[in-house]
Amino acid sequence: MSQGNPGNMGLCIACFLRDITGFFVGGSTNQAAVAYIRPEIVGIILGALAAALVTREFRPRGGSQPVVRFVLGFIFMVGALIFLGCTVRAWLRLGGGDLSALWGIAGIVAGVIIGVVFLKRGFNLGRAKAVARPLGWLLPAVAVVLLVFALVSAYGAKPGWATVTPENARAVVPGQVVVAPDGDGLKVLKPADGNGDPTASIVDGAVVADDGTVLADAGKVAATKPMPGGKRAALWVSLIAGLAIGVVAQRSRFCSIGGIRDAILVRRYDLLFGVIGLLIGATVVNLMLGQYVVGFEGQPVAHNDALGSFAAMTVATFAAVLLGGCPFRQVIMGAEGDADSFVAVVGMLVGAGATHFYNLASSPLGLAENAWPALGVMAAILVAVALAGSRKTA
């Protein structure tokens, strides 16, 4: 994050997958602010793939209720975007001093406890089996395709249908007035005519339309922060960091929900140490970089709706427990040849598009209008899945 990525996002799987969705369909899902192929994701997949190949842990497998896994991935993502972060970022937000993350972490604990109740009742999605080798290569293949698109967009010409949030672009009036840095000053990206040429300009720091109307005064422009999708580290830095993280995660089996789950369920604390290590590491790094700001209000890409954060993370975590691992784990397992995890990741990508299409995602201002009904519906689906999915396996 010190390299330019959004505040306290560092490594948010939900956010990064959402940005990738934004690249492909952002034009039709109101995702202009969050559209960028995050090279971290590509790196993580390829790093985990390499580690799995070297240790002979790459094993194509699948067939354990893929449709249900798609739905669970979808629900996870919607919940995460209502909280504004996945189960990994909740810890990173706390590591940045963002105390509003505590509501989400309380939700993680609640989601795990609910999930454990169903696991104890015998919930599982059934056994995966060995599958044809190509099915194991689905997620790595997607990573390569993403890398090609990322490189083409960065160094060549971005495809016309794709959306990329301009680097460090700031939505002064979301969807209507957007500016981006230009040398020492600013330039207008929106409003623009059909050819993409701006129809307004910067006059003394304010955005003024060609007909003389002041669209946003200088104070408003100055107070606007860059959109999440436009904040990024250099492509190669992100990619190499992702590769390293992928290797470490594959070897350590890091899981952001497994720690609490295993501690409660089987009194195993290995994974919990991973999460605690992440929290301590993030705190130390943020302190060293002078980015550590304690408080509930005004935290980067976060809101302070306690009940909303709690409920959204409870729903997301419950879904993740039913999936058998957090979204980070799903990405890693997909890279190890798990076709079911690939399907869950696709569910997350589609879920991200749907969240933005239906305006369910939260903003720093708070929850969206329909967030609560959506959480209610998703909670009901999860309970139904959990009740239906109990079977004997031993």
Partner 1 sequence: MKELDVRGLSCPMPLMHTKKAIDGDPAEILVLADSGTAKANVVALLQDSGYTVTIAEDASEYRITGVRR
Interacting residue ranges for partner 1, rule: CB under 8 A:
52, 55-57, 59, 61, 64, 119, 124-130, 253, 255, 258, 261-262, 265-266, 268, 270, 323-325, 329, 333, 336, 338, 393-394
Closest approach, Cβ 124 to partner 1, in A, equals 5
Tell me whether residue 350 is exposed, middle or buried, using C-beta atoms within 10 angstroms of its C-beta: 0 to 12, 13 to 18, 19 or more.
middle
Residue closer to partner 1, measured from CB, 198 or 324 = 324
> In 3D, which of 368, 351, 328, 323 has the Cα closest to residue 92?
328
Residue closer to partner 1, measured from CB, 132 or 145 = 132
In the block, tokens 């299409």 appear at 357
Residue closer to partner 1, measured from CB, 2 or 55 = 55
Residue closer to partner 1, measured from CB, 158 or 391 = 391
Closest approach, Cβ 336 to partner 1, in A, equals 7
Closest approach, Cβ 386 to partner 1, in A, equals 14
In the block, tokens 């140490």 appear at 273
Residue closer to partner 1, measured from CB, 225 or 253 = 253
> Which amino acid is it at 184?
D
Instruction: Answer whether 42's CB lies under 8 Å from 317's CB.
Output: no
Closest approach, Cβ 273 to partner 1, in A, equals 12
Separation in Å, CA 116 to CA 9, 262, 337, 359, 364: 28, 9, 26, 31, 32
Closest approach, Cβ 314 to partner 1, in A, equals 19
Closest approach, Cβ 259 to partner 1, in A, equals 11
As a whole number of angstroms, the distance between CA 100 and CA 199 comes to 40
Residue closer to partner 1, measured from CB, 52 or 241 = 52
Alpha helices in the chain (DSSP H): 13-25, 39-54, 66-83, 87-95, 101-120, 133-136, 138-155, 218-223, 235-252, 258-266, 270-288, 306-323, 327-335, 339-357, 371-388
Residue closer to partner 1, measured from CB, 226 or 337 = 337
Closest approach, Cβ 120 to partner 1, in A, equals 8
State the DSSP code for 229.
G
